[in-house]
Amino acid sequence: MGYLHAVELSNMVEEGSVNLETAIRIHLTSNCYPPMPEQFVPICIEAINACNDGEYDKVIELPEDMIFRGGKPTAGNIADSLHLEAWLHADNEAF
């Protein structure tokens, strides 16, 4: 488990054998410790898309009952704290 598992999941998305939502769900629930709630899946996808568009400082809106403990919930902070690097384009210099 860990980064290599995330890369494997990312490759499976690229190949079309699994969709991004499923890959992120697997990553959050079995590759993160402690496991993260599935409610983070759409948040992670939004953060990945923003980072891949170069919008690392984009604030990601969270549900009212959710708290992000990694500081301000920007796309870059979310990608960093939830270890989403495997889904970011290789030309992203921030990660």
CA distance 95 to 43: 18
**Residue whose token pair is 């980064």:** 3
For the chain, give every domain's residue range. 3-87
Rounded to two decimals, what is the model's pTM? Answer: 0.89
Q: How confident is the model at residue 94 (pLDDT cuts 50, 70, 90)?
A: low
- Which pLDDT score, from 0 to 100, does residue 65 have? 87
> In this predicted model, what pLDDT tens digit does every residue of 26-42 receive, in sequence order?
999 999 989 999 999 99
- Which pLDDT score, from 0 to 100, does residue 68 have? 84
Phi, psi of 59 (to 5 degrees): -80, 130
Query: Over the Cα atoms of the chain, what is R_g?
Result: 12
> In this predicted model, what pLDDT tens digit does every residue of 44-75 receive, in sequence order?
999 999 999 999 999 999 998 888 887 789 99
Phi, psi of 25 (to 5 degrees): -60, -45
User: Amino acid identity, residue 83?
Assistant: H
